[in-house]
Every structure is written in structure tokens, then in C-alpha cells.
């Protein structure tokens, strides 16, 4: 199996602490975080992904908005620079602890956070990063920055 993620969710997965838009959203996200934590491969996709899926039945899901596509673009640009590899639809990533730690270190320093501008969860995500990613669902123990 492969977890399908849009580019900006490569950032969101780093700070996920079980909070979200609805119980169905967080229940689905919990399962995805657990699959990523167990090393399941990530496939980068264009537009709505496995995390968005419970929201797509809404009348006008925000996942389809242009500003969310811009978030993907900004995240892909920043992560491409950080990881020195293409981050685009069709690319596959193995979410091992070294990759997650690199992304978390850069996130905590603000190097990949242009994508977060205007996001309603930004204060929470900054706070999670400030607490060294304690209590996150993804690789809780291995990836805490020391
Ligand atoms: S601030 Fe928003 S876009 Fe950035 S990591 Fe958090 S939830 Fe994702």
C-alpha cells in the first residue's frame, strides 16, 4: 500500500497531534499517521489526497481551493531545496526517521514554513515544533529533535 499525500501535507504530518476539522477527519488522519510511522511509502499527488478524503463530501471543500494548491507549491519548493530531490506528483518517498528528522529540524527553524502562511493551524503547529514535536502521532520517540 502507498499513502497518497499532496505536497503541503508532508509538512502537516510532522506536527499532527490528533487535532483536525472533524472526528471523521482525525480518525482517518490517525490511521494515515500510523501507516507512515510504520514506514509505508508516500506517493506525492496533485490535489486532494488521503488526508483530505473525509472532507471531500462537503459542499465546497477547502481542499479544492487555489490557496491550498499554492500551499502545495510552496511546500514542494521548500522541501525540494531542503532534500535536494524533486518533490512533485508521482514522486515516492520512504518516510524513515532520518527524512522526518531533517524535515522537522528545518520546519522548527522556519525554513519550510512559507506554505503555512495564512493557515488556521499555524499557531498550533509552531507550538508543537517549539515542544520538539512531543506528542505527535508520527514517529514520536525516534524523531524528537535533540
Ligand atoms: S500550519 Fe497548516 S500548512 Fe503548516 S504544517 Fe500546520 S497544518 Fe500544515
Return the residue whose CA atom lies nearest to atom 8 of ligand 1.
12
Does the CB atom of residue 103 touch ligand 1 within 6 A? no
Give me Rg for the CA atoms of the chain. Answer: 14
| Dist. CA 38 → ligand 1 center (Å) | 22
pLDDT digits (tens, 9 = 90+) for 5-37: 999 999 999 999 999 999 999 999 999 999 999
Strand arrangement of the beta sheet that strand 41-45 belongs to: 2-6, 41-45, 92-93
pLDDT digits (tens, 9 = 90+) for 81-134: 999 999 999 999 999 999 999 999 999 999 999 999 999 999 999 999 999 999
pTM summary value? 0.94
CA–CA gap between residue 99 and residue 80 (Å, rounded): 12
CA–CA gap between residue 133 and residue 104 (Å, rounded): 8
Does the CB atom of residue 125 touch ligand 1 within 6 A? yes
Amino acid at each position: 500500500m502507498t499513502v497518497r499525500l499532496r505536497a503541503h501535507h508532508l509538512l502537516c504530518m510532522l506536527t499532527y497531534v490528533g487535532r483536525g476539522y472533524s472526528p471523521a477527519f482525525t480518525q482517518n488522519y490517525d490511521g494515515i499517521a500510523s501507516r507512515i510511522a510504520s514506514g509505508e511509502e508516500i506517493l506525492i499527488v496533485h490535489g486532494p489526497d488521503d488526508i483530505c478524503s473525509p472532507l471531500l463530501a462537503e459542499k465546497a471543500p477547502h481542499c479544492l481551493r487555489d490557496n491550498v494548491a499554492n500551499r502545495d507549491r510552496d511546500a514542494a519548493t521548500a522541501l525540494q531545496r531542503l532534500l535536494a530531490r524533486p518533490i512533485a506528483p508521482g514522486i515516492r518517498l520512504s518516510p524513515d526517521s532520518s527524512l522526518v528528522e531533517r524535515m522537522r529540524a528545518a520546519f522548527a527553524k522556519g525554513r519550510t514554513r512559507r506554505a503555512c502562511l495564512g493557515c488556521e493551524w499555524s499557531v498550533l503547529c509552531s507550538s508543537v515544533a517549539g515542544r520538539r514535536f512531543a506528542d505527535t502521532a508520527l514517529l514520536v520517540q525516534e524523531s524528537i529533535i535533540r
